[in-house]
Amino acid sequence: MKKRYWAFLIGSWCLSVGMQAAKVDTLSVHSDAMNKEVQVITICPDKAMAGEKCPVLYLLHGYGGNAGTWLGIKPELPRIADKEGIIFVCPDGKNSWYWDSPLNKEYRYETFVSKELVNYIDKNFTTKAERGGRAVTGLSMGGHGSLWLSIRHKDVFGGGGSMSGGLDIRPFPNNWEMKKQLGEEASNKQRWDEHTVINQLDKIKNGDLAVIIDCGCDDFFLEVNKAVHEKLLKKKINHDFIIRPGGHTGRYWNNAIDYQILFSVSSLINRNNKMDKIVFITGASSGIGAGCARKFASQGASLILNARNVNKLSALKEELEKQYGAKIYLLPFDVRDRKAATSALESLPKEWQSIDILVNNAGLVIGTDKEQEGSLDEWDIVIDTNIKALLAMTRLIVPGMVERKRGHIINIGSIAGDAAYPGGSVYCATKAAVKALSDGLRIDLVDTPLRVTNIKPAGGNKFFSCSFPGR
């Protein structure tokens, strides 16, 4: 059965490769540190072969794997390489856990991947030869290896990812040949403490590294992944953390790698291509609005931030200027006050008037009273904020976009607009209105280059709590 499975995967891979322009090569790269040749598979997009400098994503395999593991799991990698303009590099790391073993001189894979292989790839391929053009990710043992390498060599890699990674090795002292590289855990506790990812997190601070961690809810490594996530939160280090249905399987990694590639492209690689845009965000002082501000700032956009809470806006401005060097203009006013909104927009300096992206995020919900028991005054506040203010901001800003023939309107709705919940009929109705207004605006702008997007976040404490008065 296994032979048939692998024959099917290899056949699929060959068919996929044959249909793509990306070039797949199997190389032997010499390691001075280990005095041996190491097999490496590279997937080079047509852009790189034509001379365009492309970013590199290093893919590390798990225990028992080899250089061909990732092509077996994801036969579509050549097509993805061409689509995204990424060079994929898949080294054979044996069962090394990507350490420089303190016991075995033939296992110095930290030095090989982070130094020797990177130098070889930059020398022989048209790469973006800088940390902002490199990321590393992997599965299982390779998930440990990718974070181990990226944290310890953040001068080399701009991002590190992990799928089902063994991010704390200590609960598994008798598994996967780790003691061959570190010795018995019982008599080498300090060495084991020093060679586990969770104890390397003190080497980074927020902004040093783009980090993404992904683990299935049925994976035996889930708890150690949660522990790393909690430690990163405690250290206030921004990162993406994903838990989805699935276990420690090839099927899970076939899906997970898509998220890792997307993360690398959006959070790391595209960071080099600065967004020369002016973005106006309402309700920007907390929650989704503040999250949007951080994301746009990381991409190099200039931001106009609106909210009622001046102190929170000022703190966010200071954070974004310090972390991203972002250009920020604060425009505090209550979006329900049409005169204040008009006056504020008219007061913008000339260099801030050509708004490219409008994020209509301001919104709230008050209470959970039943419809037959609710307060008419509170409903007025919710409707004025969630519907009428959105309409006012759209009416004030979009005509300029039409005149300039460029612009994007992003309306933050909610899945509550698709299905009501008890005690939330008015809020749900306002979010259904956001969808209708987005659809209508899209139709009205059909003969222009402008785009309209309605984003509908799901419920959750982090997002929903920011919808209450006080923003």
- What is the Cα–Cα distance from 275 to 292, expressed in whole angstroms? 14
SS3 percent helix, strand, coil of the chain, rounded to 5, is: 45, 15, 35
Q: Which region holds residue 312: left if phi is over 0, alpha if psi is between -120 and 50, else beta?
A: alpha
Alpha-carbon dihedral angle through residues 271, 275, 281, 287, given to the nearest 10 degrees:
-10
To which residue do tokens 């959750």 refer? Answer: 460
DSSP-based three-state secondary structure for 42: strand
Outline where DSSP puts E strands in 35-97.
36-44, 56-60, 87-91
- CB atoms inside a 10 Å sphere around CB 125: 18
Amino acid letter, residue 44: C
Q: Which residues are catalytic?
A: 427
Q: Is 37 helix (H, G, I), strand (E, B) or coil?
A: strand
In angstroms, how far is the first alpha carbon of the chain from the final one? 59
In the sheet with 328-330, reading across from the earlier edge strand, the strands are: 328-330, 302-305, 278-281, 357-360, 408-412, 451-455
Strand partners, 88: 43, 57
Rg of the chain over Cα atoms, rounded to whole angstroms, equals 25
Contact 60, 139 (CB under 8 A): yes
Give the 3-state secondary structure of residue 39: strand
Residue type for position 39: Q
Distance of CA 52 to the CA centre of its chain: 25
Contacts of 330 (CB under 8 A, 6+ apart): 304, 305, 310, 313, 314, 317
308-312: long-range pairs with CB below 8 Å, 24+: 308/332, 308/333, 308/334, 308/471, 309/285, 309/470, 309/471, 312/285, 312/286
Tokens for 361?
Answer: 């995020």
- Is residue 324 within 8 A of residue 301, CB to CB? The reply is no
- Which tokens go with 291? 């999250």
3-state SS, residue 25: strand
